[in-house]
């Protein structure tokens, strides 16, 4: 049984809370097997190790590897484990809302190229202003494999201005997205930066206003695979209050601190 009070207190104090064994080893095996089966559908082999299989398929065909990544977030077993009853009940209690939406289930894959690491940002572009994020690595994450960086207690001052323009140091890099959301260095420098080491299957729950980013994978053989979701309550949700509001609150141009019920 989850101790809702302990989790809420942790979230309110630090902006995040780690749930041990959010996924059981059985859940983890089902997800990994499912991901390998899909990679084997692209090109079969005897490889049983998901990380090795990933690099094998990346070498075989980059586009199909990308397609695997895109379709994996619709994998039913993955959705089932992300949308655990305790988590849904916790979100309802935390926000005092009887309704919760799935904001964006996703799978994140960071390999040795580190070309998809994210700069410090808060979780925006959701249905509601305040949401709870969930981040679950399916392999252990640590200083070598890279992982999730949090800026402790940065959740307490509401939302900062975001930009979709990468900072000057990123100018020459080829980016995979044109929505490269980030906040000014002057803002996040004020907070204590912590690179989290999270064991496989443990889940990090975080408040959307917590500044977070990715840190680098330096182990060439490793690939970090993480499943995530954003739980959106029926609170501070402009789409159901304003006919002009888009379903998701835009990354820029809207002050999330001004959205009220």
Nearest to residue 100, comparing CAs of 132, 55, 74, 75? 132
Part in contact with Fe ion (CB under 5 A); list of ranges 26-34, 79-87, 116-124, 177-185: 116-124
Residue nearest to Fe ion (CB): 123
Nearest to residue 254, comparing CAs of 127, 165, 146? 127
CB of 123 to Fe ion, least distance (A): 5
x/- string (CB under 5 A) for Fe ion, residues 119-158?
A: ----x-----------------------------------
CB of 42 to Fe ion, least distance (A): 28
CB of 128 to Fe ion, least distance (A): 15
Distance CA 161, CA 203 (A): 28
Could you tell me the CA-to-CA distances from 140 to 124, 165, 212, 222, 231 in Å, in that order? 27, 32, 19, 10, 24
| Cβ distance to Fe ion smaller for residue 27 or 123 | 123
Q: Are 104 and 230 in contact (CB under 8 A)?
A: yes
CB of 133 to Fe ion, least distance (A): 7
* Number of amino acids touching Fe ion (CB under 5 A): 1
Part in contact with Fe ion (CB under 5 A); list of ranges 103-111, 117-125, 162-170, 243-251: 117-125
Q: Are 72 and 91 in contact (CB under 8 A)?
A: no
CB of 163 to Fe ion, least distance (A): 15
Part in contact with Fe ion (CB under 5 A); list of ranges 89-97, 101-109, 118-126, 203-211: 118-126
Residues near Fe ion, by CB under 5 A = 123
């Amino acid at each position: 049984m989850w101790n809702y009070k302990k989790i809420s207190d942790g979230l309110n104090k630090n902006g995040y809370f780690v749930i041990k064994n959010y996924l059981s080893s059985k859940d983890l095996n089902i997800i990994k097997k499912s991901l390998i089966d899909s990679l084997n559908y692209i090109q079969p082999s005897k490889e049983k190790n998901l990380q090795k299989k990933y690099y094998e398929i990346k070498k075989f065909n980059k586009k199909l590897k990308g397609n695997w990544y895109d379709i994996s977030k619709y994998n039913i077993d993955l959705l089932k484990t992300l949308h655990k009853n305790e988590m849904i009940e916790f979100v309802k209690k935390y926000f005092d809302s009887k309704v919760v939406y799935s904001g964006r289930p996703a799978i994140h894959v960071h390999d040795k190229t580190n070309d998809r690491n994210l700069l410090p940002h808060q979780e925006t572009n959701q249905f509601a202003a305040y949401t709870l994020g969930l981040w679950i690595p399916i392999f252990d994450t640590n200083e070598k494999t890279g992982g999730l960086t949090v800026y402790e207690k940065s959740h307490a001052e509401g939302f900062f201005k975001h930009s979709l323009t990468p900072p000057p140091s990123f100018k020459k890099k080829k980016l995979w997205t044109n929505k490269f959301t980030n906040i000014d260095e002057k803002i996040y420098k004020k907070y204590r930066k912590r690179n989290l080491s999270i064991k496989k299957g443990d889940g990090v729950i975080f408040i959307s206003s917590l500044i977070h980013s990715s840190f680098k994978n330096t182990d060439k053989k490793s690939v970090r695979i993480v499943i995530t979701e954003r739980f959106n309550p029926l609170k501070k949700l402009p789409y159901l209050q304003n006919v002009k509001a888009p379903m998701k609150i835009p990354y820029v141009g809207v002050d999330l601190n001004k959205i009220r019920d």
